[in-house]
């Protein structure tokens, strides 16, 4: 028997695949019909006794569950918003802790919730440092462009340190089943992949960019740990290049569609000069709407594909993660959330936040090898929140 019948558990699509064409390390498969990913074990599909897996224990499919609701979170959100306004932002650390405690506490894995354990006073110290740097940067840029450039360069060089310190603080203050997460402070590696490689990518006209993303995701995963167990990352750089090529293809398709549409419009309406101000004025709203739609779709497509790729390439001991986000579902969630927030003048932001969190977690699962009780706690040290708050104030985004 040289072929394996691979069946998608989500839509039932199946296909016979030559066994020799299946890579030995493959752990997840993306269905070409419904585009959802699922766990795949090639060894289970063999009739050869010598290829039988030594451990016949099935991995347990443990979905992440979100139990929060918009009504509860609205109460937290409105109090946080009003107190931040009244205190000119000084309440921000307490607001962050209350928000994260709510979302962590309502996220369940194997019937146990996560905990966020940060002390707001530690966050306040970091917030004051970040606010002082931001004020210096703003005033310096206003009165001296040279000072603004120098300070901007210093902030750029500070980013790798901020990423490590922020991840260190958040991991050490996150727990599940009373076991804390941790992060290895690899500052040298952080500077290499967050400063060195991006600068080198410029000289390759961007060809190195997918590899930079791959290294940054691998850095975050491989330096994280849960108790005494370290996370691993076995996604390949080639997978990130494939996402980049498809994204670039959509960009070219968008340019072709709108360029062709404009040319066709100038042809079917006789007497219209495509270079005239009247034509440009009439066409501009359509061009802007088209540009927004193309940008929105490309952003969501790359976000969904890279998120699935990152989580599906991550393992913890013998357990693996399974992310099944879909471009269509995420597009609808983000589009309707944005529309609702605008039309409600921001009052539906809590509803949108809960809805997005629920969708993301409903499409994430842990394929657990055995019981989760075998994870053991490890001692962690208290760490400063300066990196976390500086990153927030300067808008440094480095999430999974």
Q: How far apart are CA 145 and CA 343, in angstroms?
A: 39
Max mean pLDDT among 273-282, 334-343, 391-400 falls in 334-343
Check residue 242 and give its pLDDT: 93
- The share of the chain scoring above pLDDT 90, in percent, equals 47
Q: Taking a C-beta distance cutoff of 8 angstroms, is the pair 353, 73 a contact?
A: yes
Assess whether pLDDT exceeds 80 at residue 7: no
> What is the tens place of the pLDDT at every residue in 243-256?
999 988 888 887 78
Check residue 304 and give its pLDDT: 94
Check residue 274 and give its pLDDT: 57
Give the chain's mean pLDDT: 83
Question: 258 vs 76, which has greater pLDDT?
Answer: 76
Assess whether pLDDT exceeds 60 at residue 201: yes
> What is the tens place of the pLDDT at every residue in 100-146?
999 999 999 999 999 999 888 888 887 888 788 888 878 777 777 78
- pLDDT category at 240 given cuts 50, 70, 90 is very high
Q: Please state the pTM of the whole predicted model.
A: 0.76
Residues in the chain, overall count: 400
Long-range contacts of 131-137 (CB under 8 A, 24+ apart): 131/89, 131/393, 133/390, 133/393, 133/394, 134/393, 134/394
Name which of 43-57, 134-148, 188-202, 350-364 the model is least confident about: 43-57
Q: How far apart are CA 28 and CA 205, in angstroms?
A: 32
Assess whether pLDDT exceeds 90 at residue 98: yes
Check residue 77 and give its pLDDT: 95
> What is the tens place of the pLDDT at every residue in 19-71?
777 766 666 666 666 655 666 665 555 444 444 444 556 788 999 999 999 99
Assess whether pLDDT exceeds 80 at residue 283: no
Please list, in sequence order, all residues whose beta carbon lies within 8 angstroms of the beta carbon of residue 160, skipping any fewer than 6 positions away. Answer: 187, 190, 191, 194, 195
Partners of 114 in the beta sheet?
176
Q: How far apart are CA 9 and CA 13, in angstroms?
A: 8
Phi, psi (degrees; rounded to nearest 5) at 182: -150, 175
Question: 6 vs 346, which has greater pLDDT?
Answer: 346
- The share of the chain scoring above pLDDT 70, in percent, equals 78
Average pLDDT of the segment spanning 372-397: 70
Assess whether pLDDT exceeds 70 at residue 91: yes
């Amino acid at each position: 028997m040289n072929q394996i019948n691979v069946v998608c558990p989500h839509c039932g699509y199946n296909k016979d695949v030559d066994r020799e064409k299946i890579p030995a390390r493959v752990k997840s498969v993306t269905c070409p019909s419904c585009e959802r990913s699922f766990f795949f074990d090639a060894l289970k599909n063999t009739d050869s006794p010598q290829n039988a897996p030594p451990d016949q224990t099935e991995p347990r499919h443990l979905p992440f569950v979100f139990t929060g609701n918009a009504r509860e979170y609205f109460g937290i959100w409105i109090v946080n918003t009003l107190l931040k306004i009244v205190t000119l932002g000084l309440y921000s650390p307490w607001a962050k802790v209350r928000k994260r405690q709510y979302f962590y506490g309502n996220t369940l894995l194997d019937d146990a919730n996560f905990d966020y354990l940060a002390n707001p006073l530690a966050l306040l110290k970091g917030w004051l440092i970040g606010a002082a740097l931001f004020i210096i940067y703003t005033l310096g840029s206003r009165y001296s462009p040279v000072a603004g450039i120098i300070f901007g360069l210093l902030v750029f060089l500070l980013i790798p340190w901020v990423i490590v310190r922020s991840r260190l603080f958040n991991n050490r203050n996150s727990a599940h089943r009373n076991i804390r997460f941790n992060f290895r402070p690899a500052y040298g590696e952080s500077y290499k992949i967050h400063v060195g490689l991006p600068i080198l990518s410029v000289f390759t006209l961007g060809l190195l960019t997918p590899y930079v993303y791959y290294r940054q995701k691998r850095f975050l995963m491989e330096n994280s740990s849960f108790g005494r167990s370290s996370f691993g990352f076995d996604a390949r750089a080639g997978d990130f290049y494939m996402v980049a090529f498809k994204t670039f293809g959509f960009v070219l398709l968008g340019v072709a569609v709108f360029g062709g549409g404009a040319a066709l419009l100038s042809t079917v309406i006789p007497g219209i000069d495509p270079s005239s101000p009247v034509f440009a004025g009439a066409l501009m709203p359509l061009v802007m709407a088209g540009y927004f739609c193309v940008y929105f779709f490309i952003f969501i497509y790359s976000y969904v594909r890279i998120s699935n790729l990152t989580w599906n390439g991550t393992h913890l001991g013998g357990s693996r993660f399974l992310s099944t986000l879909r471009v269509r579902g995420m597009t609808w969630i983000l589009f309707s959330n944005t529309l609702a927030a605008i039309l409600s003048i921001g009052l539906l932001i809590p509803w949108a936040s809960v809805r997005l969190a629920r969708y993301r977690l409903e499409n994430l699962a842990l394929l657990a090898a055995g019981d989760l009780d075998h994870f053991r706690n490890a001692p962690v040290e208290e760490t400063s929140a300066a990196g976390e708050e500086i990153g927030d104030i300067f808008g440094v985004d480095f999430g999974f």
